[in-house]
């Protein structure tokens, strides 16, 4: 599909960094071919996993596409993961090749442009495994097939009216669904230029809006843009579409952004296991606080207040974990998302809460169980409860409430004891308590803790 789109786009720029055209569509085939040939020379065979933990780069994107063409299974990892976390993923995915600190170096790969015959793959063959944490505290790999990715990309192309001349501002990381699939696939399928940013910088993004038409981001991006004095109607006059997702967009952010730009941000909802699931319409009402309608081909229903979904976008299960897959899957093939939702008579969905104990900070998922297990293992800790409370920039901020057996234990000692966890997962604040509030069943009352500390970050 990408090859077809590229041949139509011809000499149009594909990746642009600043004023540099890094690659045109005409060069894509041989550039990716060079990477694919290099992977094969290193011994990778169809079906092998290739694990990549690398700073965002054009080369990294080409490596992903090369992995698809060589019939490999791409396993991207957050660059914030520590060596200990990386070791877990290597053990679980058993990759043939590892591009990560201390392993293979992407920059040293001999990948001069070359012709490469794409390895044929069937629709159900795996294209990628994306790790997502779980309520048990252990990460598990969501297996995504070629058809999972392709079907979702095709639906979004139409739903969001990708069109000739579109230029995408690409600021998202390329180790998650949002940046790797939704944004990258969308642009590639449409033969669109990507203004390629290593990360989100509001000044740089605003400067690029004069030559762009589409932007995708997590709510934190929109919070930061809305707070920027440079966000004006003039600044966005070339823009066609702003998409938000990965975490709830506050109605206040939606309203602030509209007041300053005239644009109503299009909010959509998705997850690693299913790509994009629901979206507000392109034409028609974009209602803040809702995520719109199930995408064409996606079936959605609500059982016991929780959203369940089924469709061609739904993953093939958790890597080497049929028990967990079975736990989250109904006998009729519906997947239990863990998100609490309502559905209006016209089918419009609103996400109203989470049945799963999950925190989302700046669009990154953090499972409290994993953090609690790490904190509880620190000498001097009695027990802990990890919660998310409103945070003005990140949406939610991670907080740990900890009891101690050693009265001298302080915040620094706890943080030092959990240094094996990626920094973004570590609590921004550690609060010490005499005891954790429990209900009659002995269960920690996290709602009470969240209420008690809801103003901690002044959100
Ligand atoms: C960075 N930090 C975070 C953080 N990101 N802490 C909590 N949550 C986050 N998301 C910490 C760093 O560890 C560091 O801590 C400090 O903040 C500054 O780091 P930074 O890298 O300079 O931060 P910044 O560039 O401002 O990054 C924030 C961000 C980024 C929001 C721009 O996290 C981001 O791009 N998030 C997008 C994630 C994403 O792609 N989500 C999609 C998932 S797909 P210290 O203490 O060392 O200073 C999905 C499905 C779907 O969910 O529906 O799309
Ligand atoms: P992940 O596992 O990282 O793919 O994150 C998926 C989760 O992000 C979903 O299960 C939701 O809880 C949350 N999410 C994604 N988009 C939205 C949205 N628009 N509104 C509310 N929550 C969202």
Nearest ligand, measured from the Cα of 306: 2
Which CATH architecture group holds 359-452? 2-Layer Sandwich (3.30)
Q: Where in the chain do CATH 3.30.300.30 domains reside?
A: 359-452
Residue 136 has pLDDT above 80, yes or no: no
Helix axes 58-69, 25-41, angle to 10 degrees: 70
Report which protein residue has its CA nearest ligand 1's atom 9: 362
pLDDT value, residue 31: 98
Nearest ligand, measured from the Cα of 292: 2
pLDDT band at 342 (very low <50, low <70, confident <90, very high): very high
Which ligand 1 atom minimizes the distance to the CA of 201?
25
The torsion angles phi and psi of 431, rounded to 5 degrees, stand at: -110, 130
- Going from the Cα of 423 to the center of ligand 2, the distance in angstroms, rounded, reads 21
Report which protein residue has its CA nearest ligand 2's atom 5: 271
pLDDT band at 419 (very low <50, low <70, confident <90, very high): very high
Weakest-pLDDT range from 136-145, 385-394, 401-410: 136-145
Task: Give yes or no for residue 166 CB within 6 A of ligand 2.
Answer: no
pLDDT band at 138 (very low <50, low <70, confident <90, very high): confident
Task: Give yes or no for residue 351 CB within 6 A of ligand 2.
Answer: yes
Task: Give yes or no for residue 328 CB within 6 A of ligand 2.
Answer: no
pLDDT value, residue 311: 98
- Going from the Cα of 104 to the center of ligand 2, the distance in angstroms, rounded, reads 32
Task: Give yes or no for residue 253 CB within 6 A of ligand 2.
Answer: no
Task: State how far the Cα of 153 lies from the Cα of 404, in Å rounded to an integer.
Answer: 50
For 283-310, write each residue's pLDDT tens digit: 999 999 999 999 999 999 999 999 999 9
- Going from the Cα of 313 to the center of ligand 1, the distance in angstroms, rounded, reads 26
Strand 193-196 relative to strand 13-17, pairing:
parallel
pLDDT value, residue 93: 98
CB 22 within 8 A of CB 16: yes
Retrieve residue 443's tokens: 């269960």
Task: State how far the Cα of 318 lies from the Cα of 320, in Å rounded to an integer.
Answer: 6
Task: Identify the burial level of 298 via C-beta atoms within 10 angstroms of its C-beta, where 0-12 means exposed, 13-18 middle and 19 or more buried.
Answer: buried
For 265-274, write each residue's pLDDT tens digit: 999 999 999 9
Q: In Å, what is the CA distance from 181 to each residue of 28, 54, 88, 224? A: 17, 17, 24, 24
Retrieve residue 143's tokens: 């297996």
Q: In Å, what is the CA distance from 48 to each residue of 31, 43, 165, 309, 359? A: 21, 10, 37, 29, 32
The torsion angles phi and psi of 140, rounded to 5 degrees, stand at: -135, 150
2-352 CATH = 3.40.50.12780
Task: State how far the Cα of 443 lies from the Cα of 438, in Å rounded to an integer.
Answer: 5
Residue 428 has pLDDT above 80, yes or no: yes
Average pLDDT, the chain: 97
Q: Where in the chain do CATH 3.40.50.12780 domains reside?
A: 2-352
- Going from the Cα of 218 to the center of ligand 1, the distance in angstroms, rounded, reads 10
Which ligand 2 atom minimizes the distance to the CA of 133?
2
Question: Per-residue DSSP letters for 388-456?
Answer: EEEETTTEEEEEEEEEESSTT--HHHHHHHTTTS-GGGS-SEEEE-SS--B-TTS-B-HHHHHHHTTTT
Q: In Å, what is the CA distance from 355 to each residue of 88, 304, 318, 360, 427? A: 27, 10, 20, 14, 21
- Going from the Cα of 52 to the center of ligand 1, the distance in angstroms, rounded, reads 18
Site to substitute for ligand 2 among 287, 360, 364, 396, most atoms within 8 A of C-beta: 360
- Going from the Cα of 79 to the center of ligand 2, the distance in angstroms, rounded, reads 20
CB 291 within 8 A of CB 349: yes
Residue 432 has pLDDT above 80, yes or no: yes
Report which protein residue has its CA nearest ligand 2's atom 12: 339
pLDDT band at 137 (very low <50, low <70, confident <90, very high): confident
pLDDT value, residue 71: 98
Please name which of 74, 77, 56 lies closest in space to residue 66, comparing C-alpha atoms.
74
- Going from the Cα of 148 to the center of ligand 1, the distance in angstroms, rounded, reads 26
Please name which of 196, 233, 205 lies closest in space to residue 17, comparing C-alpha atoms.
196
CB 248 within 8 A of CB 285: no
For 152-186, write each residue's pLDDT tens digit: 999 999 999 999 999 999 999 999 999 999 999 99
Does this model's pTM top 0.85? yes
Task: Give yes or no for residue 76 CB within 6 A of ligand 2.
Answer: no
Question: Per-residue DSSP letters for 190-233?
Answer: HT-EEEE-SS--HHHHHHHGGG-SEEEE-HHHHHHHHTSTT--T
pLDDT value, residue 152: 98
Q: Which whole number is the average pLDDT over 340-365?
A: 96
Report which protein residue has its CA nearest ligand 2's atom 21: 248
Task: State how far the Cα of 21 lies from the Cα of 348, in Å rounded to an integer.
Answer: 41
Nearest ligand, measured from the Cα of 391: 1
Which ligand 1 atom minimizes the distance to the CA of 80?
13
For 222-265, write each residue's pLDDT tens digit: 999 999 999 999 999 999 999 999 999 999 999 999 999 999 99
- Going from the Cα of 247 to the center of ligand 2, the distance in angstroms, rounded, reads 5
- Going from the Cα of 196 to the center of ligand 2, the distance in angstroms, rounded, reads 24
Task: Give yes or no for residue 388 CB within 6 A of ligand 2.
Answer: no
- Going from the Cα of 334 to the center of ligand 1, the distance in angstroms, rounded, reads 31
Which ligand 1 atom minimizes the distance to the CA of 182?
54
- Going from the Cα of 178 to the center of ligand 2, the distance in angstroms, rounded, reads 10
CB 206 within 8 A of CB 177: no
- Going from the Cα of 291 to the center of ligand 1, the distance in angstroms, rounded, reads 22
Residue 22 has pLDDT above 80, yes or no: yes
pLDDT value, residue 134: 72
The conformation of residue 324, written as its DSSP 8-state character, comes to H
Site to substitute for ligand 2 among 181, 339, 366, most atoms within 8 A of C-beta: 339
Task: Give yes or no for residue 365 CB within 6 A of ligand 2.
Answer: yes
């Amino acid at each position: 599909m990408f090859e077809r789109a590229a041949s139509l786009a011809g000499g149009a720029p594909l990746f642009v960094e600043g004023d540099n055209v890094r690659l045109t569509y005409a060069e894509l085939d041989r550039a990716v071919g060079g990477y694919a040939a290099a992977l094969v020379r290193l011994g990778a065979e169809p079906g092998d996993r290739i694990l990549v933990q690398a700073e965002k780069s054009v080369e990294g994107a080409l490596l992903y596409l090369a992995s698809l063409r060589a019939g490999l299974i791409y396993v991207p990892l957050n660059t914030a993961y520590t060596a200990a976390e990386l070791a877990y993923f290597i053990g679980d995915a058993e990759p043939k090749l590892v591009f990560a600190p201390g392993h293979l170096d992407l920059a040293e790969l001999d990948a001069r442009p070359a012709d490469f015959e794409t390895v044929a793959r069937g629709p159900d063959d795996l294209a990628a495994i994306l790790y997502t944490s779980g309520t048990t505290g252990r990460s598990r790999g969501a297996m995504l097939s070629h058809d999972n990715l392709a079907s979702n990309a095709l639906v979004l192309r139409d739903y969001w009216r990708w069109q000739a001349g579109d230029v995408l501002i690409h600021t998202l990381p390329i180790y998650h669904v949002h940046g790797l699939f939704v944004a990258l696939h969308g642009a590639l399928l449409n033969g669109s230029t990507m203004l390629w940013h290593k990360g989100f910088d509001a000044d740089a993004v605003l400067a690029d809006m004069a030559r762009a038409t589409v932007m995708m981001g997590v709510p934190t991006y929109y919070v930061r843009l809305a707070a920027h004095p440079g966000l004006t109607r003039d600044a966005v006059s070339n823009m066609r579409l702003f998409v938000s997702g990965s975490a709830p967009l506050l109605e206040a952010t939606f309203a602030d952004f509209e007041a300053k730009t005239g644009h109503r941000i299009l909010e959509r909802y998705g997850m690693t296991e299913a790509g994009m699931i629901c979206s507000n319409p392109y034409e028609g009402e974009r209602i803040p606080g809702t995520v719109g309608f199930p995408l064409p081909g996606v079936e959605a229903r609500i059982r016991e207040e929780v959203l369940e979904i089924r469709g061609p976008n739904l993953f093939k299960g958790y890597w080497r974990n049929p028990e967990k897959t079975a736990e989250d899957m109904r006998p009729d093939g519906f997947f239990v998302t863990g998100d609490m939702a309502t559905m209006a008579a016209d089918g419009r969905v609103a996400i109203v809460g989470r049945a799963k104990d999950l925190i989302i900070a700046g669009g990154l998922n953090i499972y409290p169980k994993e953090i609690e297990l790490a904190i509880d293992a620190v000498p001097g800790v009695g027990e802990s409860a990890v919660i998310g409370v409103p945070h003005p920039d990140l949406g939610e901020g991670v907080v740990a409430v900890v009891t101690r057996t050693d009265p001298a234990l302080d915040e620094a000692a706890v943080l030092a004891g959990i240094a094996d966890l990626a920094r973004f997962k570590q609590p921004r604040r550690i609060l010490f308590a005499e005891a954790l509030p429990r209900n009659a069943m002995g269960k920690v009352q996290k709602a009470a803790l969240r209420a008690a500390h809801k103003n901690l970050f002044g959100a």
